[in-house]
């Protein structure tokens, strides 16, 4: 069992905000370890740089992406899938840093999902104007484990819908350090990110980094 990320940290524990049944927003949860996370991201990107992947329909994603962990999520003309090999380098994805596993596991536990052990972490880079259309996370072999999503850098507007694409969406402003966890009856909810507004973040400049942790198999 890992130590609590907040041990020895002289600040108020983050507030919890229920989004829906099985879904929770943890305000500022990642802030105590923000510098460790950013150092780890630099190491990952050195091994597997960001790239703009293409969808099966041939469209280039506006969000730049890489992965770490035993599996990585990829998309190309052949479809969406998890793969142990980075298609750009032909080598395995970088190992998932321990701080990533600790953060994801403790955030999941805070939302009521014990013993979350992610195999994949998608590292997404949003620059002004980048967006993520409404979608469901359906490429995993089962949906028992939650999704854990960590926001760093510029704030983003997180779109939270329903189990149908046409369902009404709610909008949540995600700030640096916020973590969203969803699973259970909310596991297949449609969600996305509105076009990123321009700005300047003290640590990350004109960008937002999102870490999305998943158990793929």
Percent of the chain exceeding pLDDT 70 equals 94
* Arithmetic mean of pLDDT over the chain: 94
Determine the longest span between alpha carbons in the chain, in angstroms.
Answer: 49
What pLDDT does 14 receive?
A: 58
Residue 206, class by beta-carbon neighbours within 10 Å (0-12 exposed, 13-18 middle, 19+ buried)? middle
Domains in the chain: ranges and CATH? 16-214 (2.60.120.590)
Question: 97-115 b/e with 16+ CB inside 10 Å = b?
Answer: bebbbbbbbbbbebbebee
Per-residue pLDDT tens digits for 104-161: 999 999 999 999 999 999 999 999 999 999 999 999 999 999 999 999 999 999 999 9
Whether 30 shows a pLDDT value over 70: the answer reads yes
124, 119, 117: which is closest to 102 by C-alpha?
117
Confidence of residue 8 (pLDDT cuts 50, 70, 90): very low
- Confidence (pTM): 0.93
Per-residue pLDDT tens digits for 161-209: 999 999 999 999 999 999 999 999 999 999 999 999 999 999 999 999 9
Mean pLDDT on 25-37: 98
What pLDDT does 91 receive?
A: 98
Q: Distance from first CA to last CA of the chain, Å, rounded?
A: 22
Residues in CB range of 59: below 8 A, 6 or more apart = none
Tell me the two tokens of residue 144.
């028992």
């Amino acid at each position: 069992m890992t130590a609590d990320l907040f041990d020895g940290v002289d600040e108020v524990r983050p507030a919890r905000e229920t989004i829906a049944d099985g879904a929770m927003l943890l305000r500022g949860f990642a802030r105590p370890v923000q510098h460790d996370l950013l150092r780890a991201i630099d190491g990952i990107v050195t091994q597997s740089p960001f790239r703009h992947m293409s969808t099966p329909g041939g469209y280039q994603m506006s969000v730049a992406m890489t992965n770490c962990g035993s599996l990585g999520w990829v998309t190309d003309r052949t479809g969406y899938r998890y793969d142990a090999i980075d298609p750009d380098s032909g080598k395995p994805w970088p190992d998932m840093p321990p701080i990533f596993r600790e953060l994801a596991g403790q955030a999941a536990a805070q939302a009521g999902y014990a013993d979350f052990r992610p195999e994949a972490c998608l590292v997404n880079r949003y620059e002004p104007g980048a967006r993520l259309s409404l979608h469901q996370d359906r490429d995993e072999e089962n949906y028992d484990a939650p999704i854990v999503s960590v926001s760093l850098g510029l704030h983003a507007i997180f779109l939270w819908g329903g189990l149908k694409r046409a369902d009404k969406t709610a909008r949540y402003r995600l700030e640096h350090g916020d973590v969203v966890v969803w699973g259970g009856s909310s596991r297949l909810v449609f969600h996305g990110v509105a076009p990123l507004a321009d700005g300047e973040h003290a640590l990350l400049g004109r960008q937002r980094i999102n870490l999305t942790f998943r158990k793929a198999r």
